[in-house]
Amino acid sequence: MIIDLNELRERGEPLVVEGDFAESQLKIRSETASLTRPAHARLRVSLAGERLRVNGNVTAELEVPCSRCLKPVGLQIDKNVDLEYWPDPKVEKEGEEIALSYEELSIGFYRDDVLDLSGVISEQIVLEIPMKAVCDEACRGLCSQCGVDLNETTCDCHPDTLDPRWAALLDLKSKLK
Ligand SMILES: [Zn+2]
Ligand SMILES: [Zn+2]
């Protein structure tokens, strides 16, 4: 969904966008996460001069694999957002270097008087996806040798069937004692 800033300017008042966004409308750049139902957003888009403010709420339900056992883990996202977008300085002021302070780096930029609101929603969802989700803090994961799910069963893998590189290290360790 594209917000045209010229239209917003003419309108003279904030635009409230509320609706469901299917995964196909978003750009969730994650190889493993998927929405289990359309995300929902209620966002108020307002302009103050050149500065565009997007505030409201984004909710989503996702599924990601457990980083240890690969079972799907459900994630609930309910996020209040308050974001600011400025005209892209690279486009606006050609040849003029603009130094941005650290705080200002949390500000986004728009180009050509348009803002891709679906992109904003996708970004907010992706930011909430943990790097390593686990189904349970106590998840035992998969056996590194035979691959069985150690939460459900045990296996006959023994330390002596360790990867030979590990075995060599253990051997060294015992010699050092
Ligand atoms: Zn797990
Ligand atoms: Zn095993």
CB 107 within 8 A of CB 85: yes
Ligand 1 center to 70 CA (angstroms)? 6
My answer on whether 103 and 58 are in the same domain is yes
Ligand 2 center to 169 CA (angstroms)? 20
- What pLDDT, on a 0 to 100 scale, did the predictor assign at position 92? 47
Assess if residue 133 is contained within a domain.
no
My answer on whether 110 and 144 are in the same domain is no
My answer on whether 41 and 121 are in the same domain is yes
Q: Which of the ligands is closest to the CA of residue 134? A: 1
What are the beta bridge partners of residue 116?
2
Q: Which residues contact 161 (CB under 8 A, 6 or more apart)?
A: 145
User: Is beta strand 15-21 parallel, antiparallel or unpaired with respect to 34-48?
Assistant: antiparallel
What global pTM score does this model have?
0.77
**Could you tell me which residue, 38 or 95, shows the higher pLDDT?**
38
Q: Does residue 42 surpass a pLDDT of 60?
A: yes
Give the number of domains in the chain. Answer: 2
For residue range 103-160, what is the model confidence (pLDDT) as tens digits?
555 688 898 999 999 999 999 999 999 989 999 999 999 999 999 999 999 999 875 5
Ligand 2 center to 30 CA (angstroms)? 30
Assess if residue 132 is contained within a domain.
no
Ligand 2 center to 140 CA (angstroms)? 12
For the segment 90-98, the average pLDDT, to the nearest whole number, is 55
Assess if residue 172 is contained within a domain.
yes
At 31, the pLDDT band (50, 70, 90 cuts) reads confident
Q: Does residue 168 surpass a pLDDT of 80?
A: no
My answer on whether 116 and 161 are in the same domain is no
Q: Which of the ligands is closest to the CA of residue 69? A: 1
Q: Does residue 77 surpass a pLDDT of 80?
A: yes
Q: Read off the amino acid at residue 75.
A: L
Q: Which of the ligands is closest to the CA of residue 159? A: 2
Assess if residue 12 is contained within a domain.
yes
My answer on whether 32 and 94 are in the same domain is yes
My answer on whether 113 and 155 are in the same domain is no
Domain boundary among 102, 127, 152: 127
Domain encompassing residue 164: 140-177
My answer on whether 95 and 14 are in the same domain is yes
Ligand 2 center to 137 CA (angstroms)? 21
CB 43 within 8 A of CB 17: yes
| CA 90/CA 111 separation, integer angstroms | 9
Q: Does residue 161 surpass a pLDDT of 60?
A: no
